[in-house]
Amino acid sequence: QVQLVESGGGLVQAGGSLRLSCAASGRTFSSYAMGWFRQVPGKEREFVAAISWGGRNTHYADSVKGRFTISRDNAKNTLYLQMSSLKPEDTAVYYCARTWAGTIRSAISDFISWGQGTQVTVSS
């Protein structure tokens, strides 16, 4: 079973940037589409971005389009989320997740493995 470990979260001022990483164990990372979600206390976990198995196709939530970039390095079994022009409303715990498919998915029910999350806090 794949294990996912996020890193790179922290405190940043509004307008700043952060890059999140998600290290995956196992030899099947490159076979599956991956995604990032985020959650704030008291709210449902929401979709942020997704990427196909080979990295050719990506999809973003409207709230982050143009500011966040998802990418992957299959040779390193690592998923990334480059976040720029951060806003206080981006504050959340960010989770990486693996789907059951190779093509892009955005529904939370399509993601079957999850990391433990990393906190991102954007101050105004």
pLDDT tens for 63-91 read 999 999 999 999 999 999 999 999 999 99
Q: Kindly report the three-state secondary structure assignment for every residue of 25-78.
A: CCCCHHHCCEEEEEECCCCCCEEEEEECCCCCCEEECCCCCCCEEEEEECCCCE
Cross-strand partners of 13: 123
Look at the block and give the residue holding tokens 């390193």: 76
* Element at 20 (helix H, strand E): strand 18-24
Does residue 2 surpass a pLDDT of 90? no
pLDDT tens track for 40-58: 999 999 999 999 999 999 9
| Three-state DSSP state, 17 | coil
pLDDT tens track for 5-50: 999 999 999 999 999 999 999 778 999 999 999 999 999 999 999 9
pLDDT at 111: 96
